[in-house]
Amino acid sequence: MDQTVLGPGVYVFQTRTLAATCGDDERSGYVSSFVASIDGVPGSRAMTMHLHDARYWSTWDLTVAASGSVHGSSLMDGTSGPNRPNNVFDVTRDASGRFTGHGARGYDATIAGHAQHCEVTYDALMRRIDLRGLIPPPRAVTSLLESLFDARRSYSDRHEGSNEGSLSPCLGGGPDLARGLQQLL
């Protein structure tokens, strides 16, 4: 059965450290923020999250449970073997569309000469970034380019044969400028 809780897109993923059992991690309350892309088939219960600016936990497997909660798991980049450091979180979506919950990352360390398993617990927050307001719609960009092209053509018609003050170096591209840029968008 398909789910409607989590879809592919661009998200912000944040963690706020609650505690570190070995005392060798960020101070309690430290917030880390990442830009995340979630990739997968819309409606699928399994997706992948990539934290493009993360040094240690860049790839996550996400699973959407029948209850609507989202479970994330990652293994530390650049490590191998059965005792690789791991990182997990569980979040649920609230009425505002934010995903909130808790997570923990675990790793083995040597503290004062003794091998010890360490764990850092954190609050987790994930929220989709709405890019629609950040990128102008293609028609608005096309209208702007057409206006610039018309201004260039009008200027060129009035100053035929003269390069003085020409808009050509600024706008260039010939008569297909607006159409070419429209295809790129």
101 in the same domain as 127: yes
The answer as to whether 154 is a domain residue is yes
The answer to whether 120 and 105 are in contact (CB under 8 A) is yes
Q: Which helix (H) or strand (E) holds 147?
A: helix 138-158
Over residues 19-56, the pLDDT tens digits come to 999 887 777 888 999 999 999 999 999 999 999 888 89
Over residues 134-165, the pLDDT tens digits come to 666 666 666 666 666 666 566 556 655 544 44
144 in the same domain as 111: no
Give the mean model confidence (pLDDT) for residues 10-14.
Answer: 95
Task: Count up the domains in the chain and report the number.
Answer: 2
Domain of residue 167 covers: 136-184
Over residues 90-141, the pLDDT tens digits come to 999 999 999 999 999 999 988 889 999 999 999 999 999 887 666 666 666 6
102 in the same domain as 16: yes
The predicted pLDDT at position 156 comes to 57
The answer to whether 18 and 31 are in contact (CB under 8 A) is no
Q: Can you give the CATH number for the domain in which 36 is found? A: 2.40.128
145 in the same domain as 86: no
156 in the same domain as 67: no
78 in the same domain as 41: yes
38 in the same domain as 24: yes
175 in the same domain as 97: no
Confidence band (pLDDT; 50, 70, 90) for 7? very high
- Sign of the CA dihedral with 169 first, then 170, 176, and 181 last: positive
The predicted pLDDT at position 177 comes to 47
Other C-beta atoms lying within 10 Å of the C-beta of residue 46? 10
146 in the same domain as 94: no
161 in the same domain as 111: no
